[in-house]
């Protein structure tokens, strides 16, 4: 099992939690971004810079991850592709996506994108906060503990 991180838009507190988890549990964590991503020196933490372009990082992640891996992303289409390959997916706010929930999430994402492009909705998600950080840490810990049991 490896932890993949869609790192371009991943909040710093989430990365810090992931760095500690990778080191503590000795699990390889791979940050994928289209810009340089500084990461702590660790045999368990890798940073991969892909070329810039639409969905280049997403496509790299989908190509490389395998069933049983974990993906951290807020990107709903990327989450759907990872779930289809058998990966577990958590967003930075601690929500775990599943085969049962991802279809509804894709529909809501498409609906909100239509609303924003038509000018009806102007705002995005609320700012990342301590409650989100704690929810993420709890969800990650539960997922990794469950994976270790197998």
**In sequence order, what E strands does 1-132 have?**
3-6, 29-33, 45-49, 70-72, 88-90, 96-97
Return the CATH number at 116: 3.40.50
**Distance of alpha carbon 46 from alpha carbon 87, whole angstroms:** 19
Question: In terms of Cα–Cα distance, which of 43, 42, 80, 44 is closest to 61?
Answer: 80
Q: What is the pLDDT of residue 129?
A: 94
pLDDT beyond 50 at 66: yes
* Alpha helix positions (H), 56-98: 56-64, 76-84
Rg (CA), the chain: 15
Question: In terms of Cα–Cα distance, which of 91, 85, 66 is closest to 143?
Answer: 91
106: containing domain? 3-148
Beta-sheet strand order (sheet of 29-33): 45-49, 29-33, 3-6, 70-72, 88-90, 96-97
**Distance of alpha carbon 149 from alpha carbon 121, whole angstroms:** 44
Q: What is the pLDDT of residue 110?
A: 62
Q: Bigger pLDDT: 59 or 100? A: 59
Token pair 């539960």 in the structure block, residue: 142
Q: Bigger pLDDT: 52 or 19? A: 19
Q: What is the pLDDT of residue 148?
A: 65
In tens, the pLDDT along 98-142 reads 887 776 676 666 666 776 677 776 676 788 999 999 999 999 999
Q: Indicate the pLDDT class of residue 150, thresholds 50, 70 and 90.
A: very low
Q: Bigger pLDDT: 52 or 30? A: 30
Q: What is the pLDDT of residue 109?
A: 63
Q: Total domain count for the chain?
A: 1
pLDDT (mean) for 62-79: 95
């Amino acid at each position: 099992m490896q932890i993949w991180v869609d790192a371009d838009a991943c909040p710093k507190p989430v990365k810090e939690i992931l760095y500690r988890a990778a080191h503590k549990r000795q699990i390889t964590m791979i940050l994928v971004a289209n810009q340089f991503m500084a990461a702590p020196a660790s045999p368990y933490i890798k940073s991969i810079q892909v070329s810039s372009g639409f969905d280049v990082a997403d496509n790299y992640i989908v190509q490389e991850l395998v069933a049983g891996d974990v993906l951290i992303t807020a990107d709903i289409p990327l989450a759907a592709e990872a779930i289809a390959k058998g990966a577990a997916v958590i967003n930075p706010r601690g929500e775990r996506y599943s085969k049962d929930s991802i279809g509804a999430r894709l529909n809501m994402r498409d609906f909100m994108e239509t609303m924003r492009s038509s000018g009806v909705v102007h705002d995005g998600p609320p700012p990342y906060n301590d409650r989100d950080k704690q929810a993420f840490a709890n969800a990650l810990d539960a997922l990794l503990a469950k994976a270790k049991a197998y």
